[in-house]
Amino acid sequence: MTGLRRRLVVAGGLLISAAALWFVLQTIDVGEAVEVIAGANPAWLLAIVGVVAVQALLRAWRWSILIPPREDGSRPSPLRLLPPMLAGYLGNAVLPARLGEPMRAVIASRREGIGMTEALGSVLVERLIDIAMLAVVGFAAALLVAGPAWTIQLLGVAAVAGIAGMAVLLTIGLQPLLRLAERIGLLRRPGLRDIAARFVATLGGASRRGPLLAAAGISVVTWMLDAGSFWLAARAVGIDLPYAAAAVVAGVSVLGTAVPSAPGYVGTFELAAAGTAGALGVAGAQALALAVVVHVMTLLPLAVGGALSLAAMGASLGEVAHAAEAPGNDRQRVA
């Protein structure tokens, strides 16, 4: 990403987050929401941390299924991939433009001796599968609770797009796009065709069907657990929110984080979560309290885990972030 483009992305994200926060502050009594949060039951909050920990382990397992093997044919274990993944979550929490995603690919490539192209491809396909399954789970929940029309439409469109994308990945993959790029001369530079072919091979095709389906199944479980975090947070602040309704709030909220925003999805997450909870009948102050509690209790443990992981690996956030901005084929080792 060029310097100008990066600055534009950062500025756009900050403006969107500021607008989202302004709208929340104009429509909800923040003082009342703070009172609701102050009275939250700590036992339910602790349970959320437990759910987040289980999700992290499942996501590391999923990544270990999707990431290509090393040159000797061996594969990194989930526990080896957990620290890079947590470091990536820290990057998403404190850096703009979702820089944490290429960050974890950089660390995994260095640490496990995997090509940077393949590591980046595994991160991208994981995100594609994750969003597709999130939309499916959220759409099913919205139908179950007969949610507001806009939630059914939003999640339905995302679910159809996700299923269509999965169908492409499971069958032909992106090989047709690679061939098209060759025909129109986009891959003439020496070595570029090889890099593109390796990247595309990581994303999908019939040979990748097993790992992709396994990853999709794990994603469904992780999103059901994510709905559990919203359900637990609702209990913590005294909201009687059915589990299926919590899944709808979770689905819209996480889709909302795809919108460019400030680091940590500040503002956009609160607007999406509070707005969806409000549309399902939760009072404004309680809806905002729910959004803030979920945001803090899911983001903070992962960020702390990321900071500890970087320290354990002897890496620094700044150096890895710099490498992630232009990853190239860097193979510097990380412990």
Burial of residue 10, with CB atoms counted within 10 A of its CB: 0-12 exposed, 13-18 middle, 19 or more buried: middle
Q: Answer whether residue 231 is part of any domain.
A: yes
Q: Answer whether residue 24 is part of any domain.
A: yes
Q: What's the pLDDT score for residue 186? A: 85
Q: Answer whether residue 201 is part of any domain.
A: yes
Residues 6+ away with beta carbon under 8 Å from 193: 182, 187
Specify the number of domains making up the chain.
Answer: 1
Is residue 145 within 8 Å of residue 280, measured between CB atoms? yes
Q: Answer whether residue 235 is part of any domain.
A: yes
How much of the chain exceeds pLDDT 70, in percent? 96
Mean pLDDT score, 212-234: 98
Mean pLDDT score, 88-104: 92
Q: Answer whether residue 330 is part of any domain.
A: no
Q: What's the pLDDT score for residue 81? A: 97
Tokens for 175, please give them: 């090989």
Helix (H, G, I), strand (E, B) or coil at 335: coil
pLDDT at 77 over 90: yes
Range of the domain at 269: 3-66+75-325
Give residue-wise pLDDT tens across range 250-272.
Answer: 999 999 888 888 999 999 999 99
Q: Answer whether residue 203 is part of any domain.
A: yes
Q: Which residue has the tokens 């703070």?
A: 34
Q: What is the pTM of this model?
A: 0.93
Q: Answer whether residue 162 is part of any domain.
A: yes
Q: Answer whether residue 334 is part of any domain.
A: no
pLDDT at 248 over 80: yes
Q: What's the pLDDT score for residue 210? A: 95
Give rounded-to-5 percent helix, strand, coil for the chain.
80, 0, 20
